[in-house]
Amino acid sequence: MDKHELFDTDGNSRGYYSSNNKLNDLTGKEWLFWTRSVISKPYPPNLQHALRSRHGGQKPPELCRDLISVFTKQGAWVLDPF
């Protein structure tokens, strides 16, 4: 297994990334953080247009964008069957 350490722009370690990771671009350390954390960012409640407000499982587009950017590889395709 090929692992290498990644660093942020300040020189702090982001953890180790495995080239065997086919799911996303996260290191093991980042994966643990994102899967064991609660998103506390407030999303505006007034983004609901008439069609979206009819669906009980609506989510702010910004939340979907944030989750997709964290949990998929850059340039990957995302299927939304709904």
Model confidence pLDDT, tens digit, residues 16-73: 888 888 888 889 898 888 888 888 778 776 655 666 666 667 777 788 888 888 889 9
User: In this structure, is residue 78 part of a structural domain?
Assistant: no
User: In this structure, is residue 30 part of a structural domain?
Assistant: yes
**14: region left, alpha or beta (phi > 0 left; psi from -120 to 50 alpha):** alpha
User: In this structure, is residue 34 part of a structural domain?
Assistant: yes
User: In this structure, is residue 76 part of a structural domain?
Assistant: no
Under 8 Å between Cβ of 8 and 54: no
- How much is the pLDDT for 48? 58
Quote the domain boundaries for residue 33: 3-40+56-71
Q: In Å, what is the CA distance from 30 to each residue of 24, 47, 70?
A: 11, 29, 9
